[in-house]
Structure 1
Amino acid sequence: MLSWRCMRMFHGEAVLLNIDLSKLAFAADVKKEAFTLLPKQGFSNENYSFMVADTKYLLRKFKLQDRDRALEYKVQTLAYENGMAAKPLHLDLSQGFMVCDYLEGKHHYVLTREDLSLFAAQLQKLHTLSLKIDSLDLKSLFKSPTPEVQEAFATIDSFPKNTVLCHNDLNPKNCIFLNQTLKFIDWEFAALNDCYFDLASVCVEFDLSPEDEASFLTDYFDTKGWSQEKLEAYKVIYKALCAQWFEENL
């Protein structure tokens, strides 16, 4: 087994990363003690960077056990082929990790109008991709829906569905900007869903002002127009789902 040491920077000491990388195409070129735990971590994965020659890679050790990682890999591959994600290179379900290209760039926590236009364009592209997978049943995710959530679902049910391939977790840490490009990471929650869910998540996560929200939605929908009532209902659902998730997982 190829087991190497990596540095946990917040502890300041090396720990053994027991992972067999022998099936990775370039495993023989990975040096010992090559892995570095990234200082900023998400909630779903433990992320390490490592170098091979002059190329940087990312190893994601899975924390969540309830995700369909094979589906995630499939969706990320499709997204990569369309310029929206890092190239996935290796998936090991038995050991619970994935290797992909490392994306350089920055997380933007406040979006400019240029950022919003880029965001809208990337979501337009994502939402046109075709993949035969199950639709996400949002209602089934709630154990005890509040009256506000029930009312939001009633509002949503009064509108036509706009079912597309969605990322479903568009918080700032999952969005990487570089040189007028935008790519998304952490695709484990991707599924078919209403496009308004992704749009609402951007509005909530980036705390868009009414003016910026209107600009973003105008860029996304172009001349089609949109429903503010439906968007507001999806904001309620998104916020409630996030609150429930953090309560259950943290």
Structure 2
Amino acid sequence: MTGKEISGIFAAFDPQLKVLSNERLFSGLSNDNFLVRTAQQAFLLKCYREHWPVQGLAAQTVFAQQQVCPKPLWTDEVNKLAIFEYLEGDIAQGDYTLELLQKLIAFHHHNAVTEPMDIKYELDFYQKTHLYQQYQADVEDALKQIALLPRDEGFCHNDLVKENIIVNSKGMFLIDFEYAKSNDVYFDLAALTVSFTLGNKQKISLLSNYQQQLPAFQKFYYSVRKLECYQLVFLVLCICWYSARSVDNKVTELRTQLDCLISSMSHR
């Protein structure tokens, strides 16, 4: 996208704004993102390559008011464009915080009802790839175990990787809600486990902290085994997704984590 095209988009958003600079951001692989600075403030211009995230944008509008995420300011569904407040900060490193868990729980209790994420459908997209076939038996076993366990339904982010968690002096914030929809909350908890490379004691702590932050009336099925089954599924999805986009360093890193997880699970 050229500077002239970006200026035209911002003229449609707010004719009073004068674009001073624009910078292509390469952290996201699903969409084209631009940091656009004006005399007044900085904005994020997002150009969606795939589906238009109706549920995600609606949820982000609600949760921006609760300081969970940046606010959508303008949308153009026909051209799949959206402008957001730009959230200054860094990609999360180190560990998650209780504040992040509280924000995630609030998100999980969002009252939107959507068609649930079909994990098997997402996995089947890669079923003919060599990578998926290497782990197919483990995936099928994990899905069988998940099916036998109680479901903890919630409105989930579904892409809770570090790159979608921003940290600044005000705390931790979520971004990129493109895949937000109903799912088992363990899918998001598994994503946190993978993103922050949590060990066995840290997984127990994650589940305990999550449970303690829940409202007293909220039921939650506490299970490290369930978390690890979702962790396995999430890892395979991520590995296949990154492989399809030739992000080889991420594939290598996540396969190491997956192989360690499978070995650990098989010895219990």
Does structure 1 residue 68 correspond to structure 2 residue 52?
yes
More helix by percentage: 2
Against the structure 1 CA distance between its residues 20 and 118, is the aligned structure 2 distance closer, same or farther, given a 3 Å change threshold? closer
Against the structure 1 CA distance between its residues 128 and 68, is the aligned structure 2 distance closer, same or farther, given a 3 Å change threshold? same
How far is 1:180 from its partner?
4.8
TM-score (norm 1): 0.83
1:88-237 superposed matches below 5 A: 88-111=72-95, 115-143=96-124, 144=127, 146-222=136-212, 226-237=222-233
How far is 1:196 from its partner?
0.4
Against the structure 1 CA distance between its residues 106 and 119, is the aligned structure 2 distance closer, same or farther, given a 3 Å change threshold? same
What secondary structure sits across from 1:221 in the alignment? helix
Alignment equivalent of 2:69, drawn from 85, 90, 109: 85
Deviations 1:61-105 (A, max 9, x none): 223x2x232332112112213321101011112222210001112
RMSD, aligned α-carbons: 2.3
1:23-42 superposed matches below 5 A: 23-24=12-13, 26-31=14-19, 34-38=21-25, 40-42=26-28
Deviations 1:122-169 (A, max 9, x none): 222111111122111111112227111111111101111111010011
How many residues are treated as equivalent by the alignment?
A: 231
Identity %: 25
Alignment equivalent of 1:43, drawn from 4, 29, 44: 29
What secondary structure sits across from 2:43 in the alignment? strand
Q: Is residue 204–residue 224 contact of structure 2 (8 Å, CA) maintained in 1?
A: no
Distance 1:47 1:109 in 2: 22
Alignment equivalent of 1:20, drawn from 9, 18, 40: 9
| Unmatched tracts of structure 2, length 5 or more | 214-219, 247-268
1:1-20 superposed matches below 5 A: 5=3, 17=6, 20=9
Q: Is residue 56–residue 102 contact of structure 1 (8 Å, CA) maintained in 2?
A: yes
